[in-house]
Amino acid sequence: MAEEKAKSIDNASLKMIEKAAKDGVNTAFDRAEAMKPCPIGMVGSCCKNCSMGPCRVPLPKSLEETPEDKRKRRGVCGATAETIAARNFIRMIAGGAAAHSDHGRGVAELFLAVAKGEASGYELKDEQKLLQVALDWGIEIGDRSNNEIAVDIGEKALSEFGKQEGEIDFLRRAPLKRQELWRQQGVAPRGIDREIVEIMHRTHMGVDQDYKNLLQQGVRASLADGWGGSMIATELQDILFGTPAPVLSKVNLGVIKKDEVNIIIHGHEPLLSEMIVAVSQDPEMIELAKSSGAKGINLAGICCTANEILIRHGVPLAGNFLQQELALVTGAVDAMVVDVQCIMQSLPDIAQCYHTKIITTSPKAKIPGAVHVEFDEHNAVESARAIVKTAIEAFPKRGSNIDIPKETTDLVAGFSHETINYLLGGIFRASYRPLNDNIINGRIRGVAGVVGCNNPRVTHDDIHVTMIKELIKNDVLVVQTGCSAMAAAKAGLLTPEAAKYAGKGLAEVCETVGIPPVLHMGSCVDNSRILMAVTAMVKEGGLGDDISDLPVAGAAPEWMSEKAISIGQYVVASGIYTVFGVNWPTLGSKEVTDFLFKDMEDMYGGMWAFEPDPIRAAHLMIAHIDKKRKALGIDKARERVLYDMDMRRELDAV
Amino acid sequence: MEYKIEKKPAPGRDEVEVLGDTFEEGKPEGEDVGKWRQKLGSREDKLKYLQNGERYWFSEEWFGSEKRKTPA
Ligand code: SF4
């Protein structure tokens, strides 16, 4: 009998999985065990785009397929396995790009309301970023007030979504060579919404039936996400709430406090949670909490809303995606406030076993069984107060079945690309030069972005942590976002002391600069910060002319969401080799998979790969980094040699 | 950036005024940990920082690896 795979490497999670079983609570870990993935859908070979189907066109299991068999492998409409796999793949991109971009649109709407003075409680916190975006978009600065400039920025941002012609504006932030390449390939996005809608049109029954043409539209929509919707979300959130700078905090279920009102903020947008952070510090609210027997109000986060308030306020992380249900199982969460994305529908059911209130806040994301307190941006303080009060009222109703794991780990987060630039050069000459120099001299072998979700099909956190440890051991600096960063944080990799896991060269650099070998850059939309960091490396010089020349690689080893596919595709199309784990959604078509894994390298200098084993995946990334180092002529470490007089004479004699 | 002027004894003279430290002392604590952006006070400082610190995108004459090419 095959050995049973461990559910998690995190002790706190394992304890809560055990408690859940005792409490009769069913979690994603149980459901994943009970329901095996459909083998046909998993590889992209099932189409349900019309009612003549669903049609299943799986690869034959064993025998080599004859051309005759292959011709027959079609849907009722005649769509080939290639068309079906490509359609399914780019519909995932559409879903992911829509999620990130609709988040961006929501931020832009709030931003404009704040700029116009119509959203009380918010302010424009980061003038520096406001000026930066104004310069980017050619918006007049002069003697205009911040609000006047912000109105123009907000209107411009909103217009990017519905733009029909030309190109989205942040594309011009990319290296010049990359911009030209996108234009040559015909994939420069015209507008954010347009590219997503076009995917839905092209993948409708009987429209685009050339898998390469379909995949190119996937690239275009993904770029509209990374260099469009996600980047707009990141930049405008920075102006509203501040650009992240290093903060100290803690991670894991142990941050939940037995004697305080615990409010868990879960989801992806920081708009409401920023206000909850402020309201929970309000003396009146703290008094109210005390009057119901609590010592205070304790906030913690799950998923990317957590990352957003961590990187700006140091609010602790309760855990990542697969810990959302487990947080409730502690019995000590008084309210879980959710907005959009990655929220399990099982939460209200689990909450019934305890006293927890599940509060939905977005009109876009309601769940039966949850309390709905709609977030009104024009009245955000009131919305936040109503939520905090609901949590306080729940506190005295706690049952006796409380067990909070002790585990917490320290972490440092908040490494925006602006902060990395500052840390490496200081206020007078902020610079990526030291990073490039240390890559050229070989102390740092390269940079890897390890990002993405959790997935109960693999051991929780294990794939992230194993991969990251292998990378840093081999002198690869790791940058992170999302749930992956939380996995690394729990393993203690986000502190400067983690240099002990790093190779000699990387450890030396980390100790000199005082940074961890693994840098937490933020939430999923903040993968746009990684795009900016690699662009800065190109523009600094010495490592080629384009992102595809850099010794860098990307990975989402425990991915599960459509957003991860969209991110992976814009990272690949930006020139970065990207490895995904778990499973790969186009394996049902060799042609489609070859296009993504091989042809894209010729077209974009970056390509996809699939490798579920984290060590092997790390070595694929390292091999790619080494390939790029060789092409740049920096494959041999060049230590500086100090010449004495004899050596100089010898040189002169040559 | 405000410069600190320090008075120091000098040989043959009583005291001279010299430019003090331009770096920060020790480790910042509490709220200030890591909050480097607050050091940039005026809008002018911030624009200057953008042109210099974020020169990859905002410098007129300096484009790094793209120095000899047409600006975007
Ligand atoms: S679109 Fe074609 S392949 Fe898809 S379900 Fe309809 S008939 Fe089947």
Residues with CB under 6 A from ligand 1: A 47-50, 52-55, 75-77, 79, 84, 205
Could you tell me if A387 lies within 8 Å of chain B, comparing CB atoms?
no
Cβ-defined contact of A414 to B34 (cutoff 8 Å): yes
Burial (CB < 10 A; 0-12, 13-18, 19+), residue A491, is buried
Question: What confidence score (pLDDT) does residue A506 get?
Answer: 95
Average pLDDT over chain B reads 74
Question: What confidence score (pLDDT) does residue A270 get?
Answer: 86
E strand or H helix at A337, and its extent? Answer: strand A335-338
Q: Is the pTM of this model over 0.80?
A: yes
Question: What gap in Å lies between CA A71 and CA A66, rounded to an integer?
Answer: 9
Cβ–Cβ contacts within 10 Å for residue A530, how many?
26
Single out the residue of A338, A75, A74, A95 nearest to residue A218, CA to CA: A95
Domains along chain A with CATH numbers: 3-72 (no CATH), 81-241 (1.20.1270.30), 253-397 (3.40.50.2030), 416-632 (3.40.50.2030)
Return the ligand 1 atom nearest residue A206 CA.
1
A297 - beta bridge partners?
A261
Distance from CA of A610 to the nearest CA of B (A): 32
ipTM of predicted assembly, 2 dp: 0.84
Question: What gap in Å lies between CA A242 and CA A94, rounded to an integer?
Answer: 30
Q: Which residues of A touch B66 (CB under 8 A)?
A: 175-176, 539, 545
Question: What confidence score (pLDDT) does residue B72 get?
Answer: 44
Return the ligand 1 atom nearest residue A75 CA.
3
DSSP code, position B10 = E
DSSP code, position A652 = H
If chain A, 654 residues long, is cut into consecutive pieces of 10 residues, what is the mean pLDDT of each piece?
Answer: 78 96 96 95 95 92 80 94 97 97 95 94 93 94 96 97 95 94 97 97 96 98 97 96 91 96 92 90 95 95 90 92 96 95 95 95 95 88 93 94 95 91 84 91 95 95 97 96 95 94 94 91 94 94 93 97 96 97 94 97 97 97 96 74 68 60
Question: What gap in Å lies between CA A540 and CA A571, rounded to an integer?
Answer: 20
* Domain ranges across chain B: 36-64
Q: Which among B46, B66, B69 is the nearest to A128, CB-wise?
A: B46
Q: Which residues of A touch B72 (CB under 8 A)?
A: 172, 176, 179
Question: What confidence score (pLDDT) does residue A535 get?
Answer: 95
Question: What confidence score (pLDDT) does residue A637 get?
Answer: 56
Is a pLDDT exceeding 80 seen at residue B38? no
Single out the residue of A377, A320, A582, A54 nearest to residue A568, CA to CA: A582
Question: What gap in Å lies between CA A605 and CA A573, rounded to an integer?
Answer: 8
Which of A45, A73, A82, A84 to mutate to test ligand 1, by most ligand atoms within 8 A of the CB atom? Answer: A84
Question: What confidence score (pLDDT) does residue A1 get?
Answer: 45
Q: Residue A628 is encoded by which pair of tokens?
A: 């790029």
Q: H helices of A496-526, where? A: 504-513
What sign for the dihedral angle of Cα A641, A642, A647, A649? positive
